[in-house]
Amino acid sequence: MESSRLKIAIQKSGRLAEHSLKLLAKCGIKLEKSKDQLLCRAQNFPIDVLLVRDDDIPAFVLTDVCQLGIVGENVLNELQVQPESGNYSNIQVVKKLGFGHCRLSLAVPSEVVYAGIKYLNGKTIATSYKGLLLEYLKDQNVNAKIVTMNGAVEIAPKTQLADAICDLVSTGNTLASNGLKEVEVILNSQAVLVRNPDMNDSLSLLSNRLITRVRAVLKAQNSRYIVLHAPVSMLDDIKGVLPGSEAPTVIPLKGSDDQVAVHAVSDEEIFWNTMEDLKAKGASSILVMPIEKMMD
């Protein structure tokens, strides 16, 4: 591998894989087609993309094989709370990426009358997240036995292996179909962009360029461009309703003294009720558009 090229580790296949590739594509990175290989070379940016298992991404970043990575907070935090696993706290979280949302939760059989965390005192809990669970139980002053499993954690209560489980949940369907109910949330997680803070100057420069693009993509993704016509007399009221917009641009309308056009960037989604409020204040021809790219 060339040391002058930046390396980023992303999941090869799984819940984060597609989103991670899409994000890189939105950052203008064109990869040479070789999805089955471990390493993908970008044609138009000095970056190589390593396609690996999500669990291995923090190690690639920590050992500087890759300077950047995209991984779930659940995976990173689990390593960070295990002091024996290495210096994972050296890895910096650069940006939450807004995909791969899930929560690490405790669940018990649906028929259990669960009155609070103390229910778990003396019980056995199955999990793949021993570190985070231990820390949580310690904080809550609960004494429970932990059984570590690498997969299919949700079947543990049925097989009498455990009284409860601690696992990732997104829709809750897996819990429900295994006769379990969620009772406590230990961690809210999403995919994050991470970096190794110790890189040489040229890689650091490249990494900052990519990070700036990632921030720009996310900012544009969450922002909307609004255009509307407003009666001059209602301008202040209308500005007051526009959510999160920085100083809107006000443009005169040819042939109309009492109407102006207002252009604004909102850093929030514009909901129907906001459009109805704007209309009620006299706004008309209201357009809300997505923004493709945005850089401060």
Binding residues vs ligand PRT (CB under 6 A): 11, 14-16, 53-55, 72, 74-75, 100, 102, 167-174, 189
What residues make contact with Zn ion under the rule CB under 5 A? 54-55
CB of 55 to ligand PRT, least distance (A): 5
**Is the Cβ of residue 43 or residue 171 nearer to ligand PRT in the bound state?**
171
CB of 290 to ligand PRT, least distance (A): 25
**Is the Cβ of residue 126 or residue 262 nearer to ligand PRT in the bound state?**
126
Question: In this structure, what is the dihedral angle of CA atoms 233, 234, 239, 243, given to the nearest 10 degrees?
Answer: -170
Look at residue 141 and give the partner it binds from ligand PRT, Zn ion, none, a contact being a CB closer than 5 to 8 Å depending on partner kind: none
**Is the Cβ of residue 52 or residue 206 nearer to Zn ion in the bound state?**
52
Helix axes 201-221 and 17-26, enclosed angle (nearest 10): 100
**Is the Cβ of residue 50 or residue 260 nearer to ligand PRT in the bound state?**
50
CB of 257 to ligand PRT, least distance (A): 55
CB of 166 to ligand PRT, least distance (A): 11
Structure tokens at 127: 């999990």
**How is 164-217 classified by DSSP, letter by letter?**
EEEEEESSSHHHHHTTEEEEEEEEEE-EEEEE-S---HHHHHHHHHHHHHHHHH
CB of 56 to Zn ion, least distance (A): 8
Runs of H (alpha helix) within the chain:
17-26, 57-62, 73-80, 130-139, 173-177, 201-221, 235-241, 272-280
Which residue number has the CB closest to ligand PRT? 72
Helix axes 130-139 and 73-80, enclosed angle (nearest 10): 70
User: Per DSSP, what are the bridge partners of residue 256?
Assistant: 253
**Is the Cβ of residue 55 or residue 237 nearer to Zn ion in the bound state?**
55
